[in-house]
Homo-oligomer: A and B are copies of this chain.
Amino acid sequence: MDYYSKEISKLIESLSSLPGIGPKSAQRLAFHILNMPKEDVKYIADSLVSARDNVHYCKVCCTLTDQDICPICSNPKRNHKQIMVVEDTRDLAAYEKTGKYDGTYHVLHGAISPMQGIGPSEIRLKELMVRLQSEDVEEVIIATNSSLEGETTAMYISKMVKPSGIKVTRIASGVPVGGDIENIDEVTLLRAFEGRVDL
């Protein structure tokens, strides 16, 4: 990077520290930024710092928010008797995009992964248990990913919650809508078979 002056090298280096941005993209981005109006660059820089400074976990569901309690948890129109447990805020957003779920959420910020040394205490499970004790909850819907970690977490939550008598469900696993049977892996096909429903 000696080909560029210090300020440019520093910019390229700091951009390439971000995930999914390799040296080539960092270079392209850097030169784009150097050609942007100063106020636009300032806007981006400010939005980075300000988001990092002001965004924290919702006191109820642990999603990322800039308020004390997120808009979903503070909305009286949502069904507070249903809690959907997701791995992260992006998963919450994905379900919100469906526009059909009116319950609340709980964001774990991860999944149990013995391989990566992430145990139950590393994710927001304690907060979920506190909610189940203090709130009047009827159903916990587990919407962790359909990966090894997601399934392990689902099993763990299920075992943890069941003694309290609260209903525990897991989102269905099967052939995605529009999916071509011939291109779908065996495990999914088997799941879809096992989970077949009456027509």
Flag whether A30 is at the interface (Cβ < 8 A): yes
Once the chains bind, are B49 and A41 in contact (CB under 8 Å)?
yes
Does more than half of chain A's interface fall in helix, strand or loop, or is it mixed? helix
Q: How far is the CA of A30 from the CA of B43 in the complex (A)?
A: 15
Flag whether A117 is at the interface (Cβ < 8 A): no
Q: How far is the CA of A181 from the CA of B36 in the complex (A)?
A: 41
Q: Mark A1-41, 1 if CB is under 8 A from B, else 0.
A: 01111111011011101111100010111111110101011
- Nearest CB of B to A114, in Å: 22
A residues 26-70 touching B (CB-CB < 8 Å): 27-34, 36, 38, 40-55, 64-67, 70
Q: How far is the CA of A11 from the CA of B36 in the complex (A)?
A: 17
What would 15 more interface pairs be, CB under 8 Å, given A3-B96, A14-B43, A20-B29? A3-B97, A5-B65, A7-B55, A8-B55, A14-B47, A14-B48, A18-B44, A20-B28, A27-B90, A31-B89, A41-B48, A44-B45, A44-B48, A45-B46, A45-B49
Provide a sorted-by-A list of 21 A–B residue pairs whose CB atoms are within 8 angstroms.
A2-B96, A3-B96, A5-B64, A5-B65, A5-B66, A5-B70, A7-B50, A7-B55, A10-B47, A14-B44, A14-B47, A18-B33, A20-B28, A20-B29, A31-B88, A31-B89, A33-B52, A34-B55, A34-B64, A42-B49, A45-B48
